[in-house]
Structure 1
Amino acid sequence: MDDKKVKILLGKRIKQLRQSFNFTQFVLGEKIDINQRQVAQIESGHSFPSLSTLVKLAKVYNCEIKDLFNYNHLEKEEKVKENIINIISNLDKKDAQLLYAIVKVIREK
């Protein structure tokens, strides 16, 4: 796995954890001594957290550093999304409209 992919998946994992704790980026930043912009950069995969930031994140989330890199489920979700996009892009107009109507009904539930 290349560095870019690791940064993106780690960022998504950190964002997922932050949201599960109901923290804003600002609140998380305060807890780990970085600013909101830096949190956003990490979560978006544009920046890799330092070792000291990883240690602080693990402490905030009451886990080990290695747990921050547990993003196998995120990789699977990405693959599912890619497959869905590929399927949709090959639909004719009529089938695409039908699929849109089905998805709209599901979202309204």
Structure 2
Amino acid sequence: MKRKAYAEARRVLKAKNIRFQTLYPARLRVHYEEGETTYNSAEEATADMASRGLSVKVIEGPDTLWERVQQAAWQPARPKRRNPAANATGFKEKLQAFRRISSKEND
């Protein structure tokens, strides 16, 4: 999610043919004519790019401490399954169609 936040800045840099690198963990290094600059957050990057005259939408950071904590917290990628037993029976039925017929069953 943090790397994805740089999408707006990367789009503008690519349109202006300005060289950049996305570094681990979620940092952006931009090679301007004056020299290179490394940004630690998308908010910092877009604010500085706007001050340099690039037409980028400035990203606002979270206002309160609670919003910052929630943003940094782990989020599940997908919801948990409610009834795993029901899904298991569906798989068993599908797999039965591929079951080999033994020579004893053919007789």
Larger radius of gyration: 2
Question: If the length of structure 2 is used for normalisation, what is the TM-score?
Answer: 0.31
**TM-score, with length taken from structure 1:** 0.31
Higher strand share: 2
Between 1 and 2, higher relative CO (CA 8 Å, sep ≥ 6) is seen in: 1
